[in-house]
Structure 1
């Protein structure tokens, strides 16, 4: 895990400090009074509130307890963790090759029981064919300037898919119809990938919905995201993976997922959209 780039980290720490200051003011304490209650030097209160210093988990619990806001401690602690480790920069992770990026998520996949996946322009990695995944990985290896370990990275991605066949897990997948029509590789590769999705739909652990293009809808997802149980949300940009751990934010992503589901086609209707894209190849 890498830290947030300095400017982003500073802004996030300032926002976190402002939240701590609001708690203190709501409790009607001066900075010196709060410092005395929690056993800080009074200057530390100022450093935390201005974002000059990051609070520890113990600092946050003590602060919230003194202000009568124990219930807010878990969310503020999650925010503080996110400030320090919200971004995982791909270029740093892939210096040792793409395989490392593929294997780093294995423990997360192994412990997750409920996957909620929304993608707007790509088939999720868990359901990609080897050919489709190879075309994608080839691009990213070149784009990120990573060592060319395509064969090893591809093997790692395929191994990661074994989590689908293990019991006790549910996979709720939402795809925009555009994801079915965005090619990676040749027409034959795309056809094989769409055929794979028709097979995936039959798995009892998988619920696959497709949001049709050119249809009335209540919401638009601005980016693809994955929700792992109720503990983590991951989004990917061209240069980094963003990890969301704040309970309040995770609930917002879960809410967005439910809203998007209301516009999706399932069962025979979803199959018809996949088959139509396949026929049009």
Structure 2
């Protein structure tokens, strides 16, 4: 059996496979007969129907045409593309650079009423300063070998942060204390980012919690970064890909993990003290009050 990156992806791809199988059965065709009509190897129909081989758009068109079900082509292709979009490699998302990826997420952020995010390695994108974002995105672009459009991508990321100031949205964000100590860019960029975190803590729509190094009786280990959008979907960021989770049971698990992590976090004066300590660690030229 294939190894799926997520049960949500598995469920979506199996649904497409089942739909194609129904089309074949409704046409009264055996698998071998369909393969012959399409000019395929005899095992291909079985691989597709068992979700071992994801069908291409051309495969779906040929399949439905051979079964006399041309009217179903568009719907099944749409379902197949949705399944594919649940696991997207960064090299595919970033093939034209980083700017379009930043812009593509704006509609989701704008329609989300409750945004919950957990960051274990870098400051959440919505809270990044231009200098921090520039340092981070330039490193990402270099590593993934994307076209260099860092300046445009930074502008798009910063513009996306406008949603923090719009009515009707709530942001509950958790950041590991280690993120405050991972230096992205030079000391000046990092200090500016830390001071910005102090300022966003006062925004009425933002709840920013910090999970301290010394969190006692830690019931949750540090996880990969993830964002929850209105209990409907979760984006999980891996080194090689973004995974979109939509299966209710999976979404519920991330919500539960977020709740556990939130109980470990500190807020208000305690959180500000952690940021101030990180600022002090950068050197005498970067105090929290400058």
Report the TM range for the smaller structure's normalisation. 0.7 to 0.9
Residues 224 and 186 (structure 1 numbering): CA distance in 2 closer, same or farther, change over 3 Å?
same
User: Is the Cα contact below 8 Å between 1:112 and 1:228 reproduced in 2?
Assistant: yes
Query: For 1:10 and 1:111, how far apart are their aligned partners in 2?
Result: 27
In structure 1, the partner of 2:111 is 111
| Cα deviations by residue, 1:45-74 (Å, 9 ceiling, x for unpaired) | x8787335879xxxxxxxxxxxxxxxxxxx
In structure 2, the partner of 1:230 is 231
Partner secondary structure for residue 183 of structure 1: coil
User: Is the Cα contact below 8 Å between 2:171 and 2:207 reproduced in 1?
Assistant: yes
Shift of residue 221, structure 1, vs aligned partner: 3.2
In structure 1, the partner of 2:259 is 258
| Cα deviations by residue, 1:97-129 (Å, 9 ceiling, x for unpaired) | 111111111111111111100011210010000
Residues 96 and 125 (structure 1 numbering): CA distance in 2 closer, same or farther, change over 3 Å?
same
In structure 1, the partner of 2:277 is 276
In structure 1, the partner of 2:195 is 195
User: Is the Cα contact below 8 Å between 2:87 and 2:241 reproduced in 1?
Assistant: yes
In structure 2, the partner of 1:176 is 176
In structure 2, the partner of 1:167 is 167
Residues 10 and 43 (structure 1 numbering): CA distance in 2 closer, same or farther, change over 3 Å?
farther
Partner secondary structure for residue 123 of structure 2: coil
Unaligned runs of 5+ residues in structure 1 are: 1-5, 21-34, 56-78
Residues 159 and 116 (structure 1 numbering): CA distance in 2 closer, same or farther, change over 3 Å?
same
User: Is the Cα contact below 8 Å between 2:102 and 2:157 reproduced in 1?
Assistant: yes
User: Is the Cα contact below 8 Å between 1:13 and 1:54 reproduced in 2?
Assistant: no
In structure 2, the partner of 1:240 is 241
In structure 2, the partner of 1:150 is 150
How much is the aligned-residue C-alpha RMSD, in angstroms?
A: 3.4
Shift of residue 222, structure 1, vs aligned partner: 2.2
Residues 10 and 244 (structure 1 numbering): CA distance in 2 closer, same or farther, change over 3 Å?
closer
User: Is the Cα contact below 8 Å between 1:115 and 1:172 reproduced in 2?
Assistant: yes
Query: For 2:157 and 2:262, how far apart are their aligned partners in 1?
Result: 27
Query: For 2:265 and 2:226, how far apart are their aligned partners in 1?
Result: 16
- Give the number of aligned pairs: 239
| Cα deviations by residue, 1:61-100 (Å, 9 ceiling, x for unpaired) | xxxxxxxxxxxxxxxxxx9887533212211222211111
Shift of residue 236, structure 1, vs aligned partner: 1.2
| Cα deviations by residue, 1:157-186 (Å, 9 ceiling, x for unpaired) | 111111111110000011110011111001
Residues 16 and 205 (structure 1 numbering): CA distance in 2 closer, same or farther, change over 3 Å?
closer
